[in-house]
């Protein structure tokens, strides 16, 4: 695993705000301990583990699959699989890395099955799209807006390019790791990433200029067009 992978997963919770010396709970057990508890037969430990990381795993699934129903189904498969194979977890790895990989594989499985069934029909649904950005009270408006922009843009590129881009650009896997996960040659991953970026660029140009702030208001697209037209 490359060092970048280690950023996957939120930081460990730093104890409970209330009653630091009082009753302790699962929250004070780290991921490895929770997984060991689970393997040893504890009925609640796995649920705590999943709850701790579910927003991260949801992000991976919804970005890769685009559709909330699909993402929920993929996570269900992934969590059941992780639940049952927990005893095969190697103790020297990060639990989040392990869980993340199972989620990614479950998402890719769904994409493959979907590709067999039909040619990737992705219906638009405005209400659900907004819902995708998560509960309104949780994040500032501009965070939600950017999240939606990216999700919508990702949905408009083909699923091969999307999975490669999510793995490499968004999740920080190396080209080689992504190739192993996707079961294709590194060159294919590079090519899918390149084409995916080229397709995403016009869809997210607005987003980029917003992020760049006031320094370059709305210049790029226009000058390019003018240059072509006038010369």
Applying the rule CB under 8 A, the residues between 13 and 72 that interact with another protein are 22-26, 28-29, 33, 36-37, 39-44, 46-47, 50-51, 54-59, 62-63, 68, 71-72
**C-beta closer to another protein: residue 22 or 121:** 22
For position 171 contacting another protein by CB under 8 A, the verdict is: yes
Contact call for residues 128 and 36 (beta carbons, < 8 A): no
Q: Give the Cα separation of 108 and 182 in Å (integer).
A: 8
DSSP 10: P
CA 84 to each of CA 38, 54, 94, 147: distance values in angstroms, whole numbers, following the listed order: 10, 18, 18, 33
User: How far is 204 from 199, CA to CA, in rounded Å?
Assistant: 9
Closer CB to another protein, residue 56 or residue 105?
56
| Nearest distance in Å: CB 224, another protein | 5
Place of tokens 């083909």: 158
Task: Please name which of 163, 160, 162, 168 lies closest in space to residue 2, comparing C-alpha atoms.
Answer: 168
**Interface region with another protein, contact rule CB under 8 A, candidates 100-108, 116-124, 177-185, 221-229:** 221-229
Write out the binding residues for another protein, residues 137-156 only, by CB under 8 A. Answer: 138-139, 143, 146-147, 150
67: tokens are 């559709």
* Footprint on residues 87-116 left by another protein (CB under 8 A): none
- Report the nearest approach of another protein to the CB of residue 212 (Å): 8
Question: Taking the complex as a whole, how short is the minimal distance between the CB of residue 199 and another protein, in angstroms?
Answer: 8
* Cα three-residue angle 91-92-96, rounded to 5 degrees: 80
Each residue 197-216 as x (binds another protein by CB under 8 A) or -, in order, gives xx-xxx-xx-xx--x-----
Distance CA 73, CA 178 (A): 22
Question: Between 112 and 205, whose beta carbon lies closer to another protein?
Answer: 205
Asked if residue 183 lies in contact with residue 105, where contact means CB atoms within 8 angstroms, the answer is no
- Decide whether 115 or 208 has the Cβ nearer to another protein: 208
CB of 91 to another protein, least distance (A): 11
Cα 217 to chain centroid distance, Å, stands at: 30
The residue (of 1 and 224) whose beta carbon lies closer to another protein is 224
Return the DSSP state at 12: P
Looking at the Cβ atoms of 58 and 105, the one nearer to another protein is 58
C-beta closer to another protein: residue 50 or 184: 50
């Amino acid at each position: 695993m490359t060092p970048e992978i280690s950023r996957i997963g939120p930081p460990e919770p730093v104890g409970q705000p209330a009653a630091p010396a009082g009753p302790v709970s699962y929250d004070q057990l780290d991921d490895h301990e929770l997984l060991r508890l689970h393997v040893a037969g504890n009925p609640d430990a796995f649920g705590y583990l999943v709850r701790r990381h579910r927003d991260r795993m949801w992000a991976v699934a919804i970005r890769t699959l685009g559709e909330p129903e699909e993402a929920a189904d993929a996570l269900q498969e992934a969590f059941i699989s992780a639940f049952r194979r927990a005893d095969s977890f190697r103790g020297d790895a990060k639990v989040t890395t392990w869980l993340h990989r199972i989620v990614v594989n479950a998402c890719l499985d769904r994409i493959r099955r979907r590709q067999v069934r039909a040619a990737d029909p992705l219906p638009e649904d405005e209400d659900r799209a907004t819902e995708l950005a998560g509960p309104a009270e949780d994040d500032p408006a501009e965070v939600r807006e950017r999240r939606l922009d990216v999700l919508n843009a990702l949905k408009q590129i083909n699923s091969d390019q999307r999975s490669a881009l999510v793995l490499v650009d968004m999740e920080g896997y190396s080209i080689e790791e992504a190739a192993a996960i996707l079961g294709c040659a590194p060159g294919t991953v590079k090519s899918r990433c390149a084409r995916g970026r080229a397709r995403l660029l016009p869809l997210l140009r607005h987003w980029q200029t917003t992020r760049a702030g006031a320094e370059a208001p709305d210049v790029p697209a226009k000058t390019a067009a003018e240059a072509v037209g006038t010369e």
